[in-house]
Amino acid sequence: SQQGEEDPQALSIQEGENATMNCSYKTSINNLQWYRQNSGRGLVHLILIRSNEREKHSGRLRVTLDTSKKSSSLLITASRAADTASYFCTHHSGTYKYIFGTGTRLKVLA
């Protein structure tokens, strides 16, 4: 399967805490992407990390990639109520057929 699997399925934290969610995959990848989806809206791209990269940052977001373990993690630091959303990973392994997992539902409590 080319599907990325996010873990945990749901996460609830207090505002100001860090949130970490993980993504595992089974095939070799060209790149891996993380997206956010607010309720009822389309997905918004967060970070794209290539297979030869190990870490990328964007504001309060940090993505790591471990190709030996076929896993990636998304860290959101100093979370805010506005970070409440579902987070998805997806990857491409040569066919440009991006398949999404079921996501991690993050709830940040004020």
Partner 1 sequence: NAGVTQTPKFQVLKTGQSMTLQCAQDMNHEYMSWYRQDPGMGLRLIHYSVGAGITDQGEVPNGYNVSRSTTEDFPLRLLSAAPSQTSVYFCASWAGGRATYGYTFGSGTRLTVV
Could you give the CA distance from residue 24 to residue 12 in angstroms, rounded to a whole number? 21
Comparing CA positions, the residue from 23, 25, 2, 28 lying closest to residue 87 is 23
Q: Which is nearer to partner 1, 14 or 41 (CB)?
A: 41
CB of 3 to partner 1, least distance (A): 9
Q: Which is nearer to partner 1, 16 or 94 (CB)?
A: 94
CB of 102 to partner 1, least distance (A): 4
Comparing CA positions, the residue from 11, 26, 4, 27 lying closest to residue 75 is 11
Residues that bind partner 1 (CB under 8 A): 33, 35, 41-45, 48, 88, 90, 96-103
CB of 16 to partner 1, least distance (A): 28
